[in-house]
Every structure is written in C-alpha cells, then in structure tokens.
Amino acid sequence: MKKLHGVTVAMVTPFDTDGGVDVAALRTLTNALVEKGVDCLYPCGTTGEMLRLTVEERKLVAETVVQAAAGRVTVFIHVGSMRQDDTIALARHAQEIGADGIGVVTPQFFTVNDREMEAYFVAVARSVPGFLMYLYNIPQCAANDLKPEVVARVCAQCDNVVGIKYSFADMARTLQYIAVKDGFSVLHGMDKLLVSLLDMGCEGTVSGCAGVVPEPYVACMKAYRAGDMEAARRWGRVCVRVTDILRGGSNMSFFKEAITARGLKGGVMRAPQLDIPADERDAMIADLKQALADAGIAFELA
C-alpha cells in the first residue's frame, strides 16, 4: 500500500506561450524532482491550477507524470472538480493509468452541508473500489470545511479512504484528523511548520514550495527520519525562508518563475491570472539565490 508520505510535491502545471500544457517541460520537471529525492508527486491540485484545466488536460497531465515517474516514486493524482461526474471520471482515469491513488478536495464555492459532503466523498471512493484515496481540506480556498466526524463516517463506509491532506494552520484540528482511526494518514500543507507537524504525528508535507526548491525539504525529512533533530530544525528554518520568498504559493507565478530561473521551464500563468511583473520576479529570484547560497544549495535545479 503506497500511501503519501515524506516530501510530497504539489506540482505546478507548465503552460507554453500558446496557453497549452507543456508536456515536455512537465516531463523534465518530474524527472528533476525524482532525482532530487522527493518521496511522492501530487499533480493537478491547487498548485497545478486544477480548476483552470479541462478534464482532458488533467488527464494529459496525470498521464505525463505517471509515465515520467515510471514507478520511481509514489504518484497520487488530485481529481477533485466542480462537477462530481468529472471527479469520478478523473478518479477512474487515474486508476486506469497506474497511479498509486488519488486526492479529492471538498466541493468548492457552493456551500455544502455535512450530509452532502459525506455523500460526495463516499460516491467518489466507491467509484474506484480498492484504489487509495486521500481527502483534501483547504477551507480558505474551497469555502467548505471538512469536519473530523464527517471524515470518520466516510472512512467507516470506504476502506480505500486512507488519509487526508489538510492545508489550514489549525493544529488542534490536525490532531483530530490524526485521531480519526488507527493508521489514518495525515499530511499537511503548511510548509513552514514541517518539523512541528512531523512531531505531532503527520506523515509528511504536501508542498508546492518543494516543487521549486526540493533540497531543504528533502534534507529536513532525511534528518528527521535519522533522529538528527538539530539538523532537521536547521533545514526547517531554510524551508521557512524559502516559503517566505516564494510567498507560500499565494500566486503560482512565483513558483513558475523560480523554476524557470533554476534552469527548467515553469511556464506561464493561465488567464485571468498574469505572470508577476519583471521587477517583482527579479527581486524574488535575487532573494532565492541568496537563500540557497547561504544554505549551500546550488541554484541550478536541472
């Protein structure tokens, strides 16, 4: 059973100048992240601009990452969509192409109650029996919150629901998720709290910043696993600095511009979002170069 763990990268989706998915760039990025030692890949999520992709584009991204990863790391495809039918179609596609599992964000924009939330996740999980599934709660973006008691009810009905990705800085809620049942896997999206979250019992991080600068996250996780807490905390402070420079994913253009500056192709933003202005980009890259130099990390990602 290949659950999400350790440094799980929430991947960007590179778009070319014509606005299409840059398959070659995505393949190269996948290889680079694997070679840098990340544990898992998680395309088509928030960092991947999921709601700005068509169903067919999302299938293309999923296929590209699974093929490029070639079994070297665990790959879960995020499949949550505005339409339940699309979510189920993408879930079945992920299973067909040989992904290790899926992530499913809560319904977005329109308010749903707990009964509707439960029914939604149960329907998706039952559409892919035996295929591992993580729930995904990011209430500040989705406008819907997933309560621990609802998670427990979903798990009671669906054995293939094995964990949750949580991306809101509520540590008490995080502990409630960990306590849902024995062996329930919790990964967190708050990059700046990595060491503390591991101490609490989380299995790892799902990090967009690690898709740009994987090195300190990988080093932090390696040190933590080895029991070297001094090194883990030192690398954790580098992760904090990197997260601040990249604005924590508040605009994926920071991620894409940094990937490009490091020698790969991050691509452009898809409208209505725009690439960050040149002066803002240059200042960010200068800060990132200094941070990586101070940490002894080569700036080139390729």
Q: What is the 3-state secondary structure (H, E, C) of 216-281?
A: HHHHHHHHHHHCCHHHHHHHHHHHHHHHHHCHHHCCHHHHHHHHHHCCCCCCECCCCCCCCCHHHH
Instruction: Enumerate the H helices of 52-179 as residue ranges.
Output: 55-69, 84-96, 114-127, 139-142, 148-157, 171-178
Q: What pLDDT does 249 receive?
A: 83
Burial class (CB in 10 A: 0-12, 13-18, 19+), 279: exposed
What is the per-residue pLDDT across 181-219, written as a single tens digit (0 to 9) for each? 999 999 999 989 999 999 999 999 999 999 999 999 999
Percent of the chain with pLDDT over 70: 100
Token readout for 22 is 């840059």
Residue 238 pLDDT: 98
Q: Reduced to 3 states, what is the DSSP secondary structure of residue 134?
A: strand
The confidence band for 244, taking pLDDT boundaries of 50, 70 and 90, is: very high
- Is residue 13 a contact partner of residue 259, using CB atoms and an 8 Å limit? no
| Residue 160: both structure tokens together | 């293939």
Question: Residue 151: left if φ>0, alpha if ψ -120 to 50, beta else—which one?
Answer: alpha
For residue range 54-72, list pLDDT tens digits in order. Answer: 999 999 999 999 999 999 9
Q: What is the pLDDT of residue 137?
A: 98
Measured CA to CA, the distance from residue 205 to residue 107 in angstroms comes to 22
- Is 90 exceeded by the pLDDT of residue 28? yes
Give the pLDDT of residue 1: 79
Task: Kindly report the backbone phi and psi dihedral angles of residue 101, in degrees, each rounded to the nearest multiple of 5, phi listed first.
Answer: 175, -170
Q: Nearest 5°: phi and psi at 255?
A: -60, -50
Q: What is the pLDDT of residues 135-177, one digit of tens each?
A: 999 999 999 999 999 999 999 999 999 999 999 999 999 999 9
> Do you know the residue count of the chain?
302
Cα separation, 253 vs 269, in Å, equals 6
Which contacts (CB < 8 Å, 24+ apart) does range 288-292 have?
288/213, 288/242, 288/245, 288/246, 288/258, 288/261, 291/238, 291/241, 291/242, 291/245, 292/213, 292/215
**3 state SS of 99:** coil
Residue boundaries of the structural domains of the chain: 6-294
Choose the CATH number for 6-294 among 3.90.1170.30, 3.20.20.70, 3.40.190.10, 3.40.50.2000.
3.20.20.70
Rounded to 5°, the CA angle 217-136-101 comes to 80
Q: How many other CB atoms sit within 10 Å of the CB of residue 54?
A: 10
Task: Give the residue from 43, 35, 46 showing the smallest Cα distance to 218.
Answer: 35
Residues contacting residue 298 through CB under 8 Å, at least 6 positions apart: 292
pLDDT, mean over the chain? 97
Nearest-5° Cα angle at 193, 209 to 295: 60
Q: Any idea which residue has 């088509």 for tokens?
A: 44
**Residue entry with tokens 């749903």:** 112
